[in-house]
Amino acid sequence: MTDAKYLAALQENLLLEKEKLALHEKVAKQAQEIVDLKTKLLQVEQRVADLHKIAHTLARGPNGTDSPENMADSRKKIERKVAPKSSEKVLKERPDSQNELDDYGELVCWLLVIRKSHPGSLSSLKKHHRDIIRDATREFLKSKIGEEKAARCEVMYQNKSIEPHIPENLIDDFHDWFNDKLDEGLLENDKEKRKSIGTAKSSPPQAYKKKEPLINTSPTVHTLNLIQKQYPDLSFDIKEYSSLMDKYIKKYDIIGSELTPNLLTQFLIEFEKHFEQDFKDSNVKFQYYKPLKRPNEKNDEPKPKKPKTTLEPDSTGHDMYPDYNRKFSVEKRVDMKRKVKHWLKQKLGDQFSKCMMQITSKGNDNHQTYGISVDLMDEFKEWAIEQFKLMVE
């Protein structure tokens, strides 16, 4: 009897375990359905937003202004077009207040707005700085159009993430507000100095003291280091350079710690043009700017020097190593000649052909070899000494 009770208890426990497993599977299936529905919801929202943009573009009167009749008719067409099927009613109908956003114009992602107003800045921003600006943008929208309408400005961007979008008619206000926030220390490193990122005023940033801002709004120092490396022999006025860079930063509303490649190239053209006389006085070659030739004026830009072929390698070998022919075999001397050719190609590049020369041997036979230019002679001798040591070993 006891065994029968025990067996019945085991069967009951087995049934309970099966029910639990079935419930877990059901919950997992429902969770996946929820994920699928959310994905579909985002796709439908993006489609509705795109269609509203199209309707806003099309529903304009002859003079370029919105026609109320055309807008109402376009909205009805859109609502009919995107109405979900009975099996896909995963969205609640949008309230009428959504249409009021049309009064503010087309929605533009905050990333595009800043990318256009401050070229090259976003690539220099770190992730947490983007998060600060993103949150600040949301606060800006709430202060302008209220929380409900601001929530409707959250739209999927490039099928990657939901980002705050700025109504077209508020972009100018956003530019003024954003520049004010930068001046107030929006990206300041010290959190005590960086107050509310919303509408409240922040204390002016105290840059270049104990703590500098993480994003230096002036790439003056970074660009100066690049210039000094690129033009090591150039002598120019640093203060005058700083003034030129400040004007360039204001001209393009640049933020970030360094210039993008395109902006850097454009600045170097202006830099070379501004310091044209300094380049000529320092005998430094222009790399980006091409100075115009004035009437009766010669171009002072230094011309590339032609190598002066003087001594051939065998003669140089005799001067440096008197027993050159007797000490080294023909194979080693031929190998040395190949190395000299390779060394000259590395040093002279396209001008290597100008080092070719014909010499006459004791038997009055002409043969071709390579000459060493005068300005490379000292460097060549240092290199050749090391090669001779290897040949002796």
pLDDT tens for residues 271-280?
999 999 989 8
Beta-bridge partner residues of 164: 154
Residue 63 lies in a domain: yes
CA distances from 84 to 33, 49, 87 (A): 17, 15, 8
Let me know whether 383 and 322 are in one domain. Answer: yes
What are the structure tokens assigned to 283, written together? Answer: 């005998």
Let me know whether 328 and 380 are in one domain. Answer: yes
Let me know whether 45 and 74 are in one domain. Answer: yes
Nearest to residue 218, comparing CAs of 187, 255, 192?
A: 255
The answer to whether residue 199 scores a pLDDT higher than 50 is no
Beta-bridge partner residues of 368: 358
pLDDT tens per residue across span 73-94: 544 444 444 444 433 332 333 3
Other C-beta atoms lying within 10 Å of the C-beta of residue 290 = 11
Let me know whether 179 and 228 are in one domain. Answer: no
Q: What is the distance between the alpha carbons of residues 344 and 353, in angstroms, rounded to a whole number?
A: 10
Q: Angle 220-230/238-252 helices, nearest 10 degrees?
A: 120
Average pLDDT estimate for 363-367: 56
CA distances from 45 to 15, 88, 101, 102, 294 (A): 45, 14, 15, 16, 63
CA distances from 165 to 155, 292, 303, 336 (A): 7, 47, 55, 69
Residue 289 lies in a domain: no
Let me know whether 81 and 117 are in one domain. Answer: no
The mean of the pLDDT values for the chain is 71
Residue 108 φ then ψ, to 5°: -125, 130
What are the structure tokens assigned to 3, written together? Answer: 């065994």
Most confident of 249-253, 281-285, 299-303: 281-285
Other C-beta atoms lying within 10 Å of the C-beta of residue 100 = 14
DSSP conformation letters of 280-296: HHTT---SS--PPPPTT
Q: Provide the residue count of the chain.
A: 393
Let me know whether 87 and 111 are in one domain. Answer: no
Give residue 317's pLDDT. Answer: 56
The answer to whether residue 150 scores a pLDDT higher than 70 is yes
Give residue 306's pLDDT. Answer: 47
Q: Which of 137, 156, 184 is the last residue of a domain?
A: 184
What are the structure tokens assigned to 191, written together? Answer: 């959190």
More confident residue, 368 or 164: 164
Residue 302 lies in a domain: no
Whole domain around residue 343: which residue ranges?
309-392
Let me know whether 383 and 314 are in one domain. Answer: yes
What are the structure tokens assigned to 142, written together? Answer: 């709430």
> Looking only at Cα atoms, what is the longest distance across the chain?
127
The answer to whether residue 189 scores a pLDDT higher than 80 is no
The answer to whether residue 133 scores a pLDDT higher than 70 is yes
Give residue 27's pLDDT. Answer: 86
The answer to whether residue 222 scores a pLDDT higher than 70 is yes
Residue 191 lies in a domain: no
Residue 382 lies in a domain: yes
The answer to whether residue 151 scores a pLDDT higher than 80 is yes
Answer yes or no: are the C-beta atoms of 367 and 358 closer than 8 Å: yes
The conformation of residue 167, written as its DSSP 8-state character, comes to: E
Most confident of 141-155, 177-191, 311-325, 355-369: 141-155
Let me know whether 315 and 358 are in one domain. Answer: yes
Answer yes or no: are the C-beta atoms of 288 and 268 closer than 8 Å: yes
Residue 192 lies in a domain: no
254 conformational bin, left if phi > 0, alpha if psi -120 to 50, beta if neither: beta
Q: What is the distance between the alpha carbons of residues 347 and 353, in angstroms, rounded to a whole number?
A: 12
Residue 291 lies in a domain: no
Let me know whether 85 and 113 are in one domain. Answer: no
Query: What letter represents residue 83's amino acid?
Result: A
Pairing relationship of beta strands 309-311 and 372-373 according to DSSP bridges: antiparallel
Residue 293 lies in a domain: no
Q: Which of 157, 184, 211 is the last residue of a domain?
A: 184
Let me know whether 224 and 259 are in one domain. Answer: yes
Q: How many helices (H) and strands (E) does the chain have?
A: 13, 7
Q: What is the distance between the alpha carbons of residues 56 and 356, in angstroms, rounded to a whole number?
A: 73
Task: Give the number of domains in the chain.
Answer: 4
More confident residue, 387 or 314: 387
pLDDT tens per residue across span 93-117: 333 333 346 567 788 898 888 888 7
Give residue 353's pLDDT. Answer: 74
Q: Which of 94, 123, 139 is the last residue of a domain?
A: 94
